[in-house]
Amino acid sequence: MAALEGMSASHAPAVRPVAIVTGGSRGIGAAVARRLARDGFDVALSYRSGQEAAEAVAEECRAAGAKALAFRADAGSSEDCATFVAAVLAQFGRVDALVNNAGITRDGLAMRMSDDAFDQVVSVNLKGAFVMCRQVLPAMMKARAGRIVNVTSVAGVFGNAGQANYSAAKAGLIGLTQSLAKEVGSRGITVNAVAPGFVETDMTVGLNDKLREAALTRIALGRFGQPDDIAGAISFLVSKDAAYLTGQTIVVSGGLSL
């Protein structure tokens, strides 16, 4: 999918659009960073602890012709988010797309879930996305253009036993997406969400065989998702082809029914 109109590397080499991807060191975020670099974006990706992995992804983005920056920024820290966006603006001078991908799980039955497990998951998955949006909006409003994509989950759309904290955070992300879309639509900024189903990454690698087999029977396409499956949908949402699409949640689950 080509990058935003008038800014694509292939059509206007003078200026490449800039994308921020949170949690870009592994899994879905890494696939998104690589994909957007191929699409013509310069890419700034954040990580919490995986510096080496993040630097390797940034290097792959450079190999695809992009400028790339790997930056340590805890999505659960408003201060880190502000420093990250300030660094991106200082180094790249603009921000055209934000992909709020950083996420964690701390699963457990609700009646035994600690405050800490609830707060941490909400802090990283939901509040972190909100803070990143708040930080990029002044630049996007000024440019009267921008794309924001929040990575939610089927758990936020349908709920999931054992994930009250995660489902609440991801459902909150859908509310954030819809409200923000209404707030900033008149400034040419779109805000959408992607809800992956079961994607093979570090987040799901620990699931036991029984759970995996049960999940597989509920996926219409008969296979688990790969990070590139999600990156493809995000590539579309930040492209010029998605200019008239906002406030929506695209479920990318291979037809998973819960």
- E strands, 22-86, where? 42-47, 68-72
Among positions 1, 7, 17, 101, the unique one binding ligand NAP when judged by CB under 6 A: 101
By beta-carbon proximity to ligand NAP, the closer residue of 9 and 233 is 233
Radius of gyration of the chain (CA): 17
199 contacts ligand NAP (rule: CB under 6 A): yes
Contact assessment for residue 29 and residue 99, using Cβ atoms and an 8 Å cutoff:
yes
Q: Is 82 exposed, middle or buried (0-12, 13-18, 19+ CB in 10 A)?
A: middle
40 contacts ligand NAP (rule: CB under 6 A): no
Site string for ligand NAP, 47-66 (x = CB under 6 A): xxxx--x-------------
For residue 206, what is the DSSP state?
A: T
* Phi, psi of 238, deg, nearest 5: -95, 0
171 contacts ligand NAP (rule: CB under 6 A): no
Amino acid letter at 170? Answer: K
By beta-carbon proximity to ligand NAP, the closer residue of 140 and 252 is 252
Active site residue 244: no
Among candidate residues 47, 166, 198, 224, the one labeled active-site is 166
204 contacts ligand NAP (rule: CB under 6 A): yes
* Distance (Å, whole) CA 151 – CA 216: 22
**Least distance to ligand NAP from the beta carbon of 66, Å?**
18
* Three-point CA angle 138, 143, 148, nearest 5°: 65
By beta-carbon proximity to ligand NAP, the closer residue of 77 and 178 is 77
For ligand NAP, the binding residues (CB under 6 A) are 22-29, 46-50, 53, 74-76, 101-104, 124, 151, 153, 196, 198-199, 201-204
Q: Which residues are catalytic?
A: 166
